[in-house]
A and B are shown apart, each in its own frame.
Chain A
Amino acid sequence: MNLSEIGIRRLLQVSSALVIVGLALEIVSLLWFHPLSFVLFAFVAASLIGLGVLVYLASLAFAGAPPADNRN
């Protein structure tokens, strides 16, 4: 296992953690009938989920990039 693989797996773990926390907060916002529940969803849960998806996509980009010593 090389360093790049370790980095990608770490990115996957970070992405998973962000998505899990974001989705858990989304469930809370859906079950909580209060004007603040929309704020919780729109500003916290959605941001965490969006960030998680972006980190996952970044890990895909890293996985698809050629190793540094094979460039040129």
Chain B
Amino acid sequence: MIGILICQIVLSIVLASIFLIRPSLTSATGWKIVAFIGLCVLPALCLVGGMNTHVQRSEQTRFCVSCHVMIPYGQSLYVDDPNHIPAQHFQNHRVPADTACHSCHADYTIYGPLNDKLQGLKRIYMQYVSTPPDPAAIRIAGGFKNAQCLHCHLGARSFEENPVHAAMMDSLKSNQTSCLTSGCHDTAHDIANLSHAKFWRSTQ
């Protein structure tokens, strides 16, 4: 897919180069059409294709962990502990391994992807312009919302038939009780204790 986009960009560069060297060609009607394609239609398509590729790329796990402060969070996905919720989801492919971070941290609302990108830009600003945060001190603004879990688990038999979940379903749906409440699923990205953790090694 990226190969097709690059071919399109190269074609657009070649056409634009023709008009950079010989702008007088546009006197002829046929070349006027070529100029419109090369300097307006193709560049606009390249922009749309580039944005789509970058947005898809930013959903990949390896993109998220390419930021220094996210490295321990990426390592925590390999913790060999079934109580460690992100690791359990990642290792058992309960979320796609390639887009593990995005699956649990994406905002699934209409403007969610845009909000995610703005948050990402804020983090880039913190990394390169202001002070990068300590990885252990990073907290999700407003706390982790149950909607992220319920997006997949709501309607699943094992989730709905669990008596603990059934007893507090309304409270979970309204976000009054967090899924990460102490005593429930409270071990998520425990990066403070990562140095003592045992890690799972994938055979792939």
Contacts and interface: CB of A to CB of B under 8 A. Distances in A.
B43 A23 contact: yes
Contacts, number: 99
B141 interface: no
A30 B53 contact: yes
Interface stretch (B12-20, B88-96, B142-150, B181-189): B12-20
Given A30-B53, A35-B66, A42-B54, A16 B17 contact: yes
B191 interface: no
Chief secondary structure at chain A's binding surface = helix
B43 A22 contact: yes
A71 interface: no
Contact of B67 (A35, A37, A57): A35
16 contacts: A13-B19, A13-B23, A15-B16, A16-B16, A19-B39, A20-B17, A22-B43, A23-B46, A30-B6, A33-B66, A35-B66, A39-B121, A41-B50, A41-B54, A42-B54, A53-B40
Interface of A: 8-10, 12-13, 15-17, 19-20, 22-24, 26-27, 29-30, 33-39, 41-42, 45-46, 49-50, 52-53, 56-57
Interface of B: 2, 5-6, 9-10, 12-13, 16-17, 19-20, 23-24, 26, 35, 39-40, 43-44, 46-47, 50-51, 53-54, 57-58, 62-63, 66-67, 120-121, 124, 127-128
